Amino acid sequence: MPELSVVIVASDSEQRAVLQVLVDGTSVARAVHTCPSYPVAATDPVVRRIQTANPEVILVDIPADTGALALRAIELLHQELPDSALFAIGSMSQAQVIVNAMRSGAREFIERPTTTTDLLEAFVRLATAQRKVHREGARGKVFTIVNAKGGSGATTIAVNLALALQSAHGNVALVDIAQLGHAALHMNLKPLFSVADAIRNLHRLDSSLLESFMTRHSGGLQLLAGANTPVGLEPSTAEFARLFDMLMSHFRYVVVDASSRMDGTTRLVSNLSETVLLVTHADVASLWSAARVQQYLGETGGRERVQLVLNRFRKIPGFSEADAEAAAGVKLLWKIPNQYFAVSTAIDRGIPLMQQNHTDIARSFTGLAARLTENDADVKRTAWSLFKTV
Ligand X SMILES: Nc1ncnc2c1ncn2[C@@H]1O[C@H](COP(=O)(O)OP(=O)(O)OP(=O)(O)O)[C@@H](O)[C@H]1O
Which of Mg ion, ligand X, none has residue 181 at its interface (CB below 5 to 8 Å by kind)? none
Q: Measured from the CB atom, is 156 or 373 closer to ligand X?
A: 156
Question: 78, 281, 312, 335: which one contacts ligand X (CB under 6 A)?
Answer: 312
Question: 39, 90, 105, 153: which one contacts ligand X (CB under 6 A)?
Answer: 153
Q: Measured from the CB atom, is 113 or 151 closer to Mg ion?
A: 151
Number of residues that bind ligand X (CB under 6 A): 21
Q: Measured from the CB atom, is 8 or 161 closer to Mg ion?
A: 161
In whole angstroms, give the CA distance from residue 280 to residue 180: 19
**Does residue 236 interact with ligand X by CB under 6 A?**
no
Q: Measured from the CB atom, is 262 or 370 closer to Mg ion?
A: 262
Q: Which stretch binds ligand X (CB under 6 A): 150-158, 203-211, 214-222, 269-277?
A: 150-158
In whole angstroms, give the CA distance from residue 202 to residue 247: 12
In whole angstroms, give the CA distance from residue 377 to residue 323: 34
Q: Measured from the CB atom, is 114 or 259 closer to ligand X?
A: 259
Q: Give residues 130-149 in contact with ligand X (rule: CB under 6 A).
A: 147
Q: Give residues 250-279 in contact with Mg ion (rule: CB under 5 A).
A: 259
Per-residue string for binding with Mg ion, 179-218, x by CB under 5 A? ---x------------------------------------
**Does residue 151 interact with ligand X by CB under 6 A?**
yes
Q: Least distance to ligand X from the beta carbon of 179, Å?
A: 8
**Does residue 7 interact with ligand X by CB under 6 A?**
no
- Phi and psi for 41 in degrees, rounded to 5? -150, 160
**Does residue 152 interact with ligand X by CB under 6 A?**
yes
Question: 15, 307, 339, 382: which one contacts ligand X (CB under 6 A)?
Answer: 339
Q: Measured from the CB atom, is 71 or 336 closer to ligand X?
A: 336
**Does residue 155 interact with ligand X by CB under 6 A?**
yes
Q: Give residues 239-298 in contact with ligand X (rule: CB under 6 A).
A: 259-260
HEC letters along the chain: CCCEEEEEECCCHHHHHHHHHHHHHCCCEEEEEEECCCCCCCCCHHHHHHHHHCCCEEEEECCCCCHHHHHHHHHHHHHHCCCCEEEEEECCCCHHHHHHHHHHCEEEEEECCCCHHHHHHHHHHHHHHHHCCCCCCCCCEEEEEEECCCCCCHHHHHHHHHHHHHHHHCCEEEEECCCCCCHHHHCCCCCCCCHHHHHHCHHHCCHHHHHHCCEECCCCCEEECCCCCCCCCCCCHHHHHHHHHHHHHHCCEEEEEEECCCCHHHHHHHHHCCEEEEEECCCHHHHHHHHHHHHHHHCCCCHHHEEEEEEEECCECCECHHHHHHHHCCCEEEEEECCHHHHHHHHHHCCCHHHCCCCHHHHHHHHHHHHHCCCCHHHHHHHHHHHHHC
**Does residue 311 interact with ligand X by CB under 6 A?**
yes
**Does residue 344 interact with ligand X by CB under 6 A?**
yes
Q: Measured from the CB atom, is 182 or 252 closer to ligand X?
A: 182
Q: Measured from the CB atom, is 259 or 286 closer to Mg ion?
A: 259
Question: 152, 155, 273, 286: which one contacts Mg ion (CB under 5 A)?
Answer: 155
Q: Measured from the CB atom, is 28 or 288 closer to ligand X?
A: 288
**Does residue 237 interact with Mg ion by CB under 5 A?**
no
Question: Between 264-272 and 237-250, two packed helices, what is the crossing angle to 10 degrees?
Answer: 30
Q: Which stretch binds ligand X (CB under 6 A): 117-125, 154-162, 224-232, 234-242?
A: 154-162
Q: In what order do the strands lie in the sheet with 57-61?
A: 29-35, 4-9, 57-61, 85-90, 106-111
Q: Least distance to ligand X from the beta carbon of 194, Å?
A: 16
In whole angstroms, give the CA distance from residue 251 to residue 382: 17
Q: List interacting residues with Mg ion (CB under 5 A).
A: 155, 182, 259
Provide the binding-site residues for ligand X, judged by CB under 6 A: 147, 150-156, 178, 182, 259-260, 311-312, 336, 338-340, 343-344, 347
